[in-house]
A and B are shown apart, each in its own frame.
Chain A
């Protein structure tokens, strides 16, 4: 299969009445979805959008949004999704950067390029019958995904149809997706995580239920029952919310859940334990990957809960290698960790309009991450930290994740983040920020003594500060950069 849109067309032909997609307000079979895609593709052609041109689409987290994405790809144009709450200035910058020919959203803004409303997308369905389409090729560009950019200016990640299909296959084989799978996707479809699970289910001929978050749990469980959901896709922040607001209902639904897949950020240990308890018979997957090299490693933590920091085994298209700081390959081990690098069809073409000769990222056909890792004798991969996050204190290296894991075991600490702060003697020293549940009091001296009893002295943060909430990126990763900047500002 060369593209996801081609797979949808095939399923529409072979299983026309099979449930394909719903968003709580609308539901479509494969045949209906394909007609909507064709209809909107015909409209795009009519208004002059051509192969290779970029269409920027603001996420409305519904069937209309994904229909536009598929239609754009069907005519060979490039889908550039934007998050729902993106700032107007950012829309302007991205439209200029990709020289967008069309902006699709619920509301028009003055960008100096044509606008199309996302609201009436499905009304084009009947216009499709006369148009003939040639499916995009494997080496055509499918989409450009802009990263959130917590570590600098965000970049456009250019993905070919070959890459998109390979990532979807990584997901399908990784989670052992059944054909009759119906997956709840309540995470943003403008980001790689949600988008890729949607693609995987469509490639597999399965059903997708799109929702805008999980906090309104009444609607979440109503949709799960209505469409017979068998799998859930979550990011850690959404898992925490679901456990907080709907744990009992989830437990009552547990015998119908085949698997839950998570990704995009590490899952807090307490949430891992809780979901394992609530869904003892389900497969509970955590995916490792990047937007540049998607869904490359997977672990079922309901079966491998004893392996700390293990991210599992490579998925079907992924081959891993390890590099040292000077760019040389190394044989990794627990004692000799390296930068994790990944090769395979899921690897992006490159950063949009940036050279692919950047050896910091591309090396010997691999995409090199900043994750420090090693592989054990059974082929399982373990993450030990981020190269950029390591705190250099008086000649010692401190992994902030290690400090955080210990602090989280202390009663009352709900979340925490460890960052480097300047120290005139040591260069840097660790500082721990923590947050508690409302009304809970943590004695900082006791927290300090607790960490001291678990870690080497140089790793123990002497600076500890309580804050209301640990800043996080959209997908739940700790936003260390924000804390570092705040600290410098103080």
Chain B
């Protein structure tokens, strides 16, 4: 998780990744940040994020992104 937090901070430095609640609904994470996060995750973890995983629930907080990466890394 610590490593992922570093990757997320690198991808979107202005986002408070420790914040509680839904980062998307609260308007903290915007579309540019999400694209940046996707690019960074793809490069660092050598994963492809398929279209069916591109949904709000998978990007609403750092924990959800962590679980997404874990799942895709196992596949």
Residues of A near any B CB (own CB < 8 A): 84-85, 213-219, 221, 237-238, 240-241, 244-246, 248-249, 437-439, 469
* Known contacts A245-B35, A438-B39, A218 near B27 by CB under 8 Å: no
Q: Which residues of A contact B27 (CB under 8 A)?
A: 84-85
- Whole-angstrom distance between the alpha carbons of A246 and B54 in the complex? 9
Return the chain A residue nearest B57 by Cβ: A216
Q: Which residues of B contact A437 (CB under 8 A)?
A: 39
- Whole-angstrom distance between the alpha carbons of A381 and B39 in the complex? 37
- Whole-angstrom distance between the alpha carbons of A244 and B51 in the complex? 11
- The answer to whether A215 touches B51, judged by C-beta atoms less than 8 angstroms apart, is no
* Known contacts A85-B27, A438-B40, A218 near B35 by CB under 8 Å: no
- The answer to whether B52 touches A213, judged by C-beta atoms less than 8 angstroms apart, is no
Q: What would be 12 A-B contacts, judged by CB atoms less than 8 Å apart?
A: A215-B34, A216-B56, A218-B51, A219-B55, A221-B51, A245-B38, A246-B51, A249-B51, A437-B39, A438-B39, A438-B40, A469-B32
Query: Nearest-CB distance from B6 to chain A (Å)?
Result: 14
* Known contacts A85-B27, A213-B31, A244-B35, A218 near B53 by CB under 8 Å: yes
- Whole-angstrom distance between the alpha carbons of A248 and B54 in the complex? 14
Residues of B near any A CB (own CB < 8 A): 27, 30-32, 34-36, 38-40, 43, 51-56, 59
Compute the total of residue contacts between A and B using a CB distance below 8 Å: 46
- Whole-angstrom distance between the alpha carbons of A245 and B41 in the complex? 13
- Whole-angstrom distance between the alpha carbons of A249 and B54 in the complex? 12
Apart from the given pairs A84-B27, A215-B35, A218-B54, 11 other A-B contacts in the complex at a CB distance below 8 Å: A216-B59, A217-B51, A219-B56, A238-B31, A241-B31, A245-B35, A245-B54, A248-B51, A437-B39, A438-B40, A439-B43
- The answer to whether A215 touches B54, judged by C-beta atoms less than 8 angstroms apart, is yes
Query: Nearest-CB distance from A16 to chain B (Å)?
Result: 34
Query: Nearest-CB distance from A237 to chain B (Å)?
Result: 8
Q: Which residues of A contact B40 (CB under 8 A)?
A: 438
Return the chain A residue nearest B39 by Cβ: A438
Query: Nearest-CB distance from B64 to chain A (Å)?
Result: 13
Q: Which of B31, B43, B52 contacts A215 (CB 8 A)?
A: B31
- Whole-angstrom distance between the alpha carbons of A240 and B34 in the complex? 13
Q: Which residues of B contact A245 (CB under 8 A)?
A: 35, 38, 51, 54
Query: Nearest-CB distance from B18 to chain A (Å)?
Result: 21
- Whole-angstrom distance between the alpha carbons of A238 and B38 in the complex? 15
The 4 closest A-B pairs by CB, nearest first: A217-B54, A215-B31, A218-B55, A215-B34
- The answer to whether A241 touches B53, judged by C-beta atoms less than 8 angstroms apart, is no
Q: Which residues of A contact B56 (CB under 8 A)?
A: 216, 219
Interface-centre pick from B27, B32, B40 (highest chain A CB count, 10 A): B32
Q: Which residues of B contact A244 (CB under 8 A)?
A: 35, 38
- The answer to whether A241 touches B35, judged by C-beta atoms less than 8 angstroms apart, is yes
Q: Which residues of A contact B36 (CB under 8 A)?
A: 469
Query: Nearest-CB distance from B51 to chain A (Å)?
Result: 5
Query: Nearest-CB distance from A278 to chain B (Å)?
Result: 14
Query: Nearest-CB distance from B3 to chain A (Å)?
Result: 16
Q: Which residues of B contact A215 (CB under 8 A)?
A: 31, 34-35, 54
Query: Nearest-CB distance from A32 to chain B (Å)?
Result: 27
Query: Nearest-CB distance from A69 to chain B (Å)?
Result: 21
- The answer to whether A218 touches B39, judged by C-beta atoms less than 8 angstroms apart, is no
Return the chain B residue nearest A218 by Cβ: B55
- The answer to whether A216 touches B43, judged by C-beta atoms less than 8 angstroms apart, is no
Q: Which of B30, B32, B43, B54 contacts A438 (CB 8 A)?
A: B43
Q: Which residues of A contact B43 (CB under 8 A)?
A: 438-439
Q: Which residues of B contact A439 (CB under 8 A)?
A: 43
Query: Nearest-CB distance from B32 to chain A (Å)?
Result: 8
Query: Nearest-CB distance from B38 to chain A (Å)?
Result: 7
- Whole-angstrom distance between the alpha carbons of A244 and B56 in the complex? 17
Query: Nearest-CB distance from B34 to chain A (Å)?
Result: 5
Query: Nearest-CB distance from A6 to chain B (Å)?
Result: 35
Q: Which residues of A contact B38 (CB under 8 A)?
A: 244-245
- Whole-angstrom distance between the alpha carbons of A241 and B34 in the complex? 10
Query: Nearest-CB distance from B53 to chain A (Å)?
Result: 7
Query: Nearest-CB distance from A443 to chain B (Å)?
Result: 20
- The answer to whether B39 touches A216, judged by C-beta atoms less than 8 angstroms apart, is no
